[in-house]
Amino acid sequence: MSLLSLKNVTRRFGSLSALSNISMEVPQGELRAVIGPNGAGKTTLFNLISGFFPPSEGELLFDGQSVKGVPPEKLVHRGMIRTFQITEIFLDLSVYENLEIAVETAHGLNLRPWLSPARRRQVRAHIDELMQTLHLEDLAYRMAGELAHGDQRVVEIAIALAREPRLLLLDEPTAGMGDEETDRMTDLIRHLHQERGITMLFIEHDMSIIFNVADRITVLDNGHLLAEGTPAEISANADVQAAYLGAAR
């Protein structure tokens, strides 16, 4: 069974169809990229999936259950995490403190005035594990606001992982990054997919990343599903080439 399923989804804004009759299936464990020229409907697709607004028509299923009209905060509890949704990084707190808040919230402990030593050890172990996975140990006591942009985005992902997502939605994870930061983020995405088996859906403009890491690619154009397939299939697809050449003209 697919973890995420869209059936004939349409989203209109007034007379404009930002998405028209989109159907897609994302199986458990897949790393799926969503690409398309400007205005293709990628952000609208993410907004629909993560519950920011409902589709005008069609059905959305998460883990086999309809999530049409379910608000974002409820979807977060079910394990659908979109990075910017929870990326309220506290810039004047350290990386460690940011992760502490994320882990305590994820464990439902954030409103407790006092934690038992056993709970405190459990929280600490989870933070340490996240820091190790994301190679954040050296930055633990730096203020989040002082970090380079690439490091801040890694902290965002750490905060998302604290919730142990079943589906992670990444909105242009390498936007604004230099080559070195982009390589690091690419390695991280690959690691989370391969080592942890997290199902991920990501919007990305950098083709080298997409073709390097994605299992499958969904291509949108002008609100329509133009193509879907493996990186090899998509790079050989004449319609995709035409859409991108058209966009570049």
Ligand X SMILES: Nc1ncnc2c1ncn2[C@@H]1O[C@H](COP(=O)(O)OP(=O)(O)OP(=O)(O)O)[C@@H](O)[C@H]1O
**Positions that interact with ligand X (CB under 6 A):** 13, 16, 18, 36, 38-44
Instruction: Write down the least CB distance from residue 219 to ligand X, Å.
Output: 11
Cβ nearer to ligand X, comparing 46 with 96: 46
Q: Could you tell me the smallest distance in angstroms from the CB atom of residue 157 to ligand X?
A: 20
Cα dihedral 185→134→2→224 (10° resolution): -20
Judged by CB, which is closer to ligand X: 7, or 12?
12
Judged by beta carbon, residue 53 or residue 110, the one nearer ligand X is: 53
Residue type for position 178: G
- Which are the contacts of 170, defined by CB distance < 8 A and separation ≥ 6? 82, 83, 157, 189, 200, 201, 202, 203, 204
In 10 A of CB 199, how many CB atoms?
22
Closer Cβ to ligand X, 14 or 117, answer by number: 14
Name the helix (H) or strand (E) containing 9: strand 2-13
To ligand X, the closest distance from the beta carbon of 40 in angstroms equals 4
Structure-token match 């974002």, residue found: 72
Min dist CB 49 to ligand X, Å, is 12
